[in-house]
Amino acid sequence: MSKLIDIRNKIDEIDEELVKLFTKRLDLAKEVANTKILSKTAVLNFEREEEVLLRTSKIAGELGRQITTIMKTVMRISREKQYEIICDNDEDWELKNITQASLNNKYKEDIIVFGGNVGSYSERAAIIMYPNVVPIGQKSFEDACKLVAREKADIAVLPLENSTAGTVNEVYDLLPKYGLYIVKALSSDIENCLLGIKGAKLSDIKEVVSHPQALMQCDKLIKNMNLISTPSENTAFAAELVSKSNNKSIAAIASQKTAKEYSLEILLSSINNETTNQTRFVALSKKPRISSTANRVSIAFKLAHQSGSLDSVLSIFADLNLNLVKIQSRPIPHMPWEYLFYLDFNSEIDNKDAFRALYHLEKELPYLAFLGWYKQEN
């Protein structure tokens, strides 16, 4: 045991020396940053970093791979220090200027649209988010986005993800397609019911109609009852279809409100696979709308095709103590095997480290899209 203590004491001594050397290196990084501000030189220099990695790997000999990993981390942190200084002094940075300009501004919220019909979960979310406006239903999520993009509507309220069935991929794809921003988010409980026409019995049902997300949220019941699943644009549209069909063998999965709206009977209630079933709805606008209560940031980005590129991005958030709450990838339409990563992290609007992370990513990634800084409500 005493030998282990001796070894640890030696390690502590080496760590102290490493700290002193690393502090000196970061002091030089500050000088580099100030020089680059004057010369307007990019922080990241691939050739210089490759030169350092090659040289230090040769010096390390058989430990070259391990030293390369350490040096990559050292150089990333060095760049972070440089970006911190440059970001804080960059008065022309567009993203920071946009967020500051939109902070607590008054915006039109006269026309609110949602994807679906009366009685849909999206309508309910829109009413909660904008209680002073009567929201208008649209045939599809894309129709709602088009109206906002063309400034025919102020806000579109759409479902983005569900705690059971996962993301609504169509909505993720619509965000970059129409260049829309998330300005509010609401997590809302979803309680699905099985609805049939008047006089229908549970034993009559052979087919069930609903939005694909609702079908996934209730697929255990669907399998147990051996029902045919038919997708619909929206849960409320499904309820309307069943009501008009006058067919006892067809049921809809939708809310209790739709049962009243379309004169349907609740054959079964609370049919979700999981007792806790929530959908996260987002309000989308053509321009960013940021309030002092904003607590969540959403971005989309592309990665360089090289080893460790995703790890480098995630390490920036870890280094700056920013809490990631979501990351996923989606194929880019018309670009085979190219992907966009969607990432959310928690941050108050006055957090300088959040701006520094965004600045760092914007300068080094092939593509970065700011999707919004907004209040997430539960």
Measured distance CA(138)–CA(146) in Å, rounded? 10
Ranges under pLDDT 50 in the chain: none
Residue 18 in tokens: 């490493």
Exposed/middle/buried for residue 77 (C-beta within 10 Å: 0-12, 13-18, 19+): middle
Per-residue pLDDT at 196: 96
Contacts of 298 (CB under 8 A, 6+ apart): 182, 342, 343, 344, 371, 372, 373, 374
Residue 88 vs residues 66, 81, 273: alpha-carbon distances, Å: 34, 11, 49
Contact of 182 with 372, CB cutoff 8 Å: yes
Per-residue pLDDT at 19: 95
- CA-nearest of 47, 52, 98, 96 to 74 is 52
Q: In order of start, what are the domains of the chain with their CATH numbers?
A: 2-89 (1.20.59.10), 107-190+273-288 (3.40.190.10), 193-268 (3.40.190.10), 291-378 (3.30.70.260)
Contacts of 3 (CB under 8 A, 6+ apart): none
Per-residue pLDDT at 221: 95
Per-residue pLDDT at 1: 67
Per-residue pLDDT at 346: 97
Per-residue pLDDT at 335: 84
Catalytic residues: 279, 281
Per-residue pLDDT at 78: 95
This prediction's pTM: 0.89
Residue entry with tokens 């321009």: 287
pLDDT tens per residue across span 308-322: 899 999 999 999 999
